[in-house]
């Protein structure tokens, strides 16, 4: 199950309490105070890892607590500090403070970590309060409380190329042909209910990541269909490949413009990303004139256009190398 949103509660460890103690050794009368300090409470960190690709783990466990510091002991022994807690999240996770909406961190690299709750400081023992005029202090301090927060975790996939378009435009079939990804493929709308990532190997030294985004429909930015639930996953991509099914009778330009409008209404930044327009299912085209219209439309808009068929492989190699050139900045769009 793909989960890309979670709300969790984190609690850093409290600091240990300082100790009140006095030396009691043979032949050492009036040995003086010897109470040690309390240990520091454990911190809470979030750490990104490539071994996870969903926030599924947080569906069942939502409360995370770091270890508290141990109390101080006699003979000036400081309490043991609490162990820090490291919570693993997928690479691409945005961390927000649930109460303010403030972004605390954006974990986009494997191994990157952020401190989300700081452990409490340990309290001082009575040995700390001794002075020349106050030689038998009984004062001590309680440990400070560790920070406590509600956090929102949002996962945005990290992909170089995002495949978008109407349901059944051919996105899942395309990613299954150019990568090792194995999404569910069928001839009914909304076959893809979760985003899929696939690594496309261009040559021995070059590869890029493609994301198959569930089909969009008119009103997606307002939550229609699968809605804006998955639009966030396109925001990090470098290129958008917009698939238009040429086997369907009707105005292909109008269908293209409706999805483009949804992207623009969701985010102007998203709308301004580089584009590749793919006329799909060219092997089953019912109206060659419609395909030619879309091609001329893209030429007028200065948009790269390719006709492809994931069934017989037409145009797939050209698409892969066009993506490579655009990602390397060797082709202007």
Per the CB < 8 A criterion, the answer to whether 66 and 44 are in contact is: yes
Contact 168, 187 (CB under 8 A): yes
> Does the domain made of 161-327 have the CATH classification 3.90.1150.10?
no
Q: Which residue has the tokens 């050209």?
A: 318
* Residue 52 pLDDT: 86
User: What is the distance between the alpha carbons of residues 279 and 285, in angstroms, rounded to a whole number?
Assistant: 10
What's the confidence (pLDDT) of residue 190? 45
Question: To 5 degrees, how large is the angle CA 215–CA 220–CA 224?
Answer: 95
Helix intervals (H) in the chain: 171-178, 252-266, 268-271, 288-300, 316-327
pTM of the entire structure? 0.73
Angle between helices 288-300 and 252-266 (to 10 degrees): 40
Averages of pLDDT over each 10 residues, the chain, 333 residues: 85 97 78 93 96 88 97 95 96 93 93 97 95 91 97 88 88 88 53 70 87 66 50 85 90 91 86 93 84 93 94 93 88 51
Task: Write out the DSSP string of 99-156.
Answer: TT--EEEEE-STT-EEEEEPPPPPPPPGGGG--SS--S-----PPPPPPEEEEEEEE-
Cα(69)–Cα(83) distance, rounded to whole angstroms?
8
Class in CATH terms, 5-155: mainly beta
Q: Do residues 169 and 243 lie in contact, with contact meaning Cβ atoms separated by under 8 Å?
A: yes
For the chain, the structural domain boundaries read 5-155, 161-327
Strands 161-165, 239-245: pairing is parallel
Same CATH fold, 161-327 and 5-155?
Answer: no
Q: Compute and round to an integer the Cα radius of gyration of the chain.
A: 29
Give CA–CA dist 100/36, Å, rounded: 39
| CB neighbours of residue 110 within 10 Å | 11
DSSP code per residue over 155-193:
E----SEEEEESTTSSHHHHHHHHSS------SSTT---
């Amino acid at each position: 199950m793909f989960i890309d949103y979670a709300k969790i509660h984190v609690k850093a460890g409290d600091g240990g309490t300082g100790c009140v103690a006095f030396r009691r050794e043979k032949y050492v009368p009036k040995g003086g105070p010897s109470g040690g300090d309390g240990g520091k409470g454990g911190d809470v960190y979030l750490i990104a890892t490539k071994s996870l690709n969903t926030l599924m783990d947080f569906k069942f466990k939502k409360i995370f607590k770091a270890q508290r510091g141990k109390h101080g002991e006699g003979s000036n022994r400081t309490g043991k500090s609490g162990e820090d807690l490291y919570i693993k999240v997928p690479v691409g996770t945005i961390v927000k403070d649930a109460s303010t909406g403030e972004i605390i961190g954006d974990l986009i690299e494997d191994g990157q970590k952020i401190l989300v709750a700081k452990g409490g400081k340990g309290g001082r023992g009575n040995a700390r309060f001794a002075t020349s005029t106050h030689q038998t202090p009984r004062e001590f301090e309680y440990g400070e409380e560790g920070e406590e927060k509600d956090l929102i975790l949002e996962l945005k996939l990290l992909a170089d190329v995002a495949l978008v378009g109407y349901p059944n435009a051919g996105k899942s079939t395309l990613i299954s042909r150019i990568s090792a990804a194995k999404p569910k493929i069928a001839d009914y709308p909304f076959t893809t209910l979760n985003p899929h990532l696939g690594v496309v190997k261009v040559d021995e030294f070059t590869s890029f990541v493609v994301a198959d985004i569930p089909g969009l429909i008119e009103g997606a930015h307002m939550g229609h269909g699968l809605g804006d639930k998955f639009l966030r996953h396109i925001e990090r991509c470098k290129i958008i490949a917009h698939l238009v099914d040429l086997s369907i009778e009707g105005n292909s330009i109008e269908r293209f413009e409706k999805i483009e409008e949804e992207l623009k209404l969701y985010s102007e930044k998203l709308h301004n990303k580089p584009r590749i327009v793919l006329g799909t299912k060219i092997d089953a085209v019912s109206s060659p004139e419609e395909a030619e219209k879309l091609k001329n439309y893209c030429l007028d808009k200065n948009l790269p256009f390719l006709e492809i068929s994931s069934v017989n492989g037409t145009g797939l190699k050209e698409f892969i190398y066009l993506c490579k050139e655009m990602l390397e900045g060797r082709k202007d769009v």
